[in-house]
Amino acid sequence: MLQRNKNFVNRESTVSEFAALVEVLESFAGFVRRQFPVILFVLLLTLAVVAVFLFATPPRYAAQAKLIIDSRKVQLFQQQSVLGEIPVESATVESQIEILKSENIALSVIKDLHLIEDPEFVESTGGVIGTIMGLIPNFFAPPNESKSEPELTRRALGVFQGQLAARRAGQTYVIDIGFVSLDPTRAAQVANAVADAYIVDQLEAKYETTRRAGAWLQDRLQELRGQASTAERAVVDYKTKNNIVDTGGTGGRLINEQQLADLNAALVQARAKTTEDKARLDRIDEIIREEGSGEKLAIAPAVTDVLQNAVITPLRQRYLDYAAREADYSNRYGHNHLAVVNLRNQMREIRKAILDELKRIAETYKSDYEIAKAREDSLQRSLDQIVAESQTTNQAQIVLRQLESAAKSYRSLYDNFLQRYMESVQQQSFPITEARVITRASSPPSPSSPRTLHILAIASFGGAVLGLSIALFRDISDRVFRNGMQVETTLLTNCIAMVPKFDCTKSIVRGRQNLPCATVDMPLSRFTEAIRAIKVAADLSAAGKASKVIGFTSSLPNEGKSTVAANVAQLIAHAGARTILVDGDLRNPWLSEVLARTAKIGSLDVISGKASLDQAVWNDPITNVAFLPAVSRSHLQYSNEILGSDEMKKLFDELRRRYEWVVVDFSPLAPVVDVRSTAHLVDSYVLVIEWGRTKIEAVEHALHSARGVYENLLGVVLNKVDVRQLRKYDRGNFYHNKYYARYGYTE
């Protein structure tokens, strides 16, 4: 039993969810049905704009070349690089991409390919729209003014950089170089030219670096060559002066001779160390002098301690990063942009920090040199002391060994520097770069843009979404009454009838042109059927009463309340009931002007005692409806007081006694307060709302300010309903012609 109940609950929940889903789908279908013209118009407009864009946009072709930064290059000369080998890192690849996009590469390609003579790069080639935009500057330019070559170059540079694309392929060392052009051949040509220009630029950069290193080595070689020659000449001169001849044997030497040999060897080492320290000190002093004289600071000086320095290494990396960013920002935002100036200031501070560190290293080198010099001097003093103590015969041999050691040291240094110089000359004559082209660009067979099908698909989707958005906004902002459900949920009252829009000229029969759309003239119409619905609602609400008083009002003027009231009275009277129609709009008696234009006596005369009720009432012989006009010879200031007076109450009591139905046409609720004073006169009110026009806020405000009317409200009548449009807002579609035609109804 429990299982059955559980299954029943689950089934009921499923049915409820399905019903909710169906309701949502029906609501969406109704929304689309209502706003379909708007959605279709926006979609077609979007497609038209996109079609114009596709028609005005010329096809463009994209060619791509592939470049690799290969650190494992083949070297023809197996020698150590003067500057050392720097491993290729991810940041290095990104830096090379920025070099590819730089102005130097672009200007080189523009110059080699003569792109300033190509209209694509110096003239507007963006189709119809681009041509029109290009004519605007020319319109304000002086006539017969030809652009100079620098101006054409700058314009070609802007177009060139806009059509060039360089990006890294994943996490590899491969760089994709793409170029877009109107000509497929030109696109491939420029892409290949960019790759070639980059390789040439790298070769020239390495050549320049090697050339400067070779120049420094050459100057150093000249100095060492002179020192070695002087030292060797001193040895020869000393041998000649002291008549020393080499015997070729070691012989039996004394202890002091062994000491002299050891001290001499140590002195040679000390001198070599002093010379090396002196060279290092000279090199770093040269770098510092270059910075002090305004020359560019060498970010990677050829000093081992600098390359391994824990302070300079991160400063160098930051300097290079800032330099790359400064070049990038200068290209993007201009040379004097605040961000570029800040980067230059930071670079200047880094250079200052590097210079300070270099000075500290220079002081260390100076200290090492002084220590080496002091050690050399110490060894020299020791050697001099031993020499002084040695026999006179050994004096010449000691001096000779010193001279020979000095000559050998200078010769060794000279040979070492000569070898490095020859290596630099070889690299300078045959420079090698890590970059090489692995795929050359070829002419693309089809255009890369515009992608017609892709753009049309996106435009269709976007147009549909835009159309739905605009339609949804229109639907949400449509704050008017469209069906009876809105009336019941918003106003918490019944919608007793939906009166369709009716052409009053169709009811002109028997010469009664002044009557509002009379139901007796066209009894088999939707209009008449809606009036019958109002009468039925009144019958049900006042069942058992001998007489019934119904007041018709609206929120705003021109909503059709007078026409509805007149036709309700005509319908009831034509059916045989004693009925009187009263014009209760004392400030704007429209019914009196239509039904009794020549009347001289009205309800005001009756309540004032100037005339009797029989004298004021008009009768229609065709519909048997009686009409009590409101005749006013001037605008009334206190119409609400008149309607709330005891005399008016007595008049309505008399009307109840004489007639079965009393239909009153009151003034609207919003403009005037008259209706609020009539609660003691009528049994119930009927609020007439113009379909699709009167705002919901206006009706709510009117009823909120007239509590007596709302509490005695019989229901709401939606008037002037467009039946064709109503089908879009009523999911039931109960207003189809075929349903009414079976019962003889006609329009």
pLDDT score recorded for residue 402 = 79
Whether 237 and 319 map to the same domain: the answer is: yes
Show the tokens assigned to 155.
């314009």
Cα 177 to Cα 167: distance, rounded to the nearest angstrom: 7
Task: State how many domains the chain has.
Answer: 4
User: Is 11 contained in some domain?
Assistant: no
Q: Is 548 helix (H, G, I), strand (E, B) or coil?
A: strand
User: Is 3 contained in some domain?
Assistant: no
Q: Which regions in the chain score pLDDT beneath 50? A: 1-4, 6, 8-9, 74-86, 128, 135, 141, 143-144, 247-254, 294-295, 298, 300, 302, 507-514
Whether 542 and 676 map to the same domain: the answer is: yes
pLDDT score recorded for residue 550 = 93
At a CB cut-off of 8 Å and minimum separation 6, what does 421 contact?
214, 217, 218, 221
Whether 535 and 610 map to the same domain: the answer is: yes
Whether 42 and 150 map to the same domain: the answer is: no
Alpha-carbon torsion 520, 523, 527, 532, what sign? positive
Residue range of the domain that includes 31: 23-57+450-478
Show the tokens assigned to 8.
């029943």
Long-range contacts for 14-17 (Cβ within 8 Å, ≥24 apart)? none
Whether 120 and 43 map to the same domain: the answer is: no
User: Is 515 contained in some domain?
Assistant: yes
The answer to whether the predicted template modeling score (pTM) of the entire model surpasses 0.75 is no
User: Is 215 contained in some domain?
Assistant: no
User: Is 366 contained in some domain?
Assistant: yes
Whether 398 and 364 map to the same domain: the answer is: yes
Cα 116 to Cα 97: distance, rounded to the nearest angstrom: 24
User: Is 7 contained in some domain?
Assistant: no
Question: Do 557 and 670 form a contact (C-beta atoms < 8 A)?
Answer: no
Whether 508 and 633 map to the same domain: the answer is: yes
Residue 551 burial by Cβ neighbours in a 10 Å radius (0-12, 13-18, 19+): buried
Alpha helices in 557-645 (DSSP H): 561-574, 590-595, 603-607, 613-616, 639-643
- Residue 653 sits in a domain whose CATH number is 3.40.50.300
pLDDT score recorded for residue 77 = 43
User: Is 221 contained in some domain?
Assistant: no
Residue carrying the six token digits 């001169």: 237
Whether 230 and 201 map to the same domain: the answer is: no
Whether 703 and 558 map to the same domain: the answer is: yes
Residue 184 burial by Cβ neighbours in a 10 Å radius (0-12, 13-18, 19+): buried
User: Is 467 contained in some domain?
Assistant: yes
Whether 547 and 444 map to the same domain: the answer is: no
Whether 705 and 602 map to the same domain: the answer is: yes
pLDDT digits over 624-636, tens only? 899 999 887 666 7
Whether 492 and 616 map to the same domain: the answer is: yes
- Residue 184 sits in a domain whose CATH number is 3.30.1890
Cα 481 to Cα 499: distance, rounded to the nearest angstrom: 13
Residue carrying the six token digits 């540079």: 157
State how far Cα 522 lies from the chain centre: 62
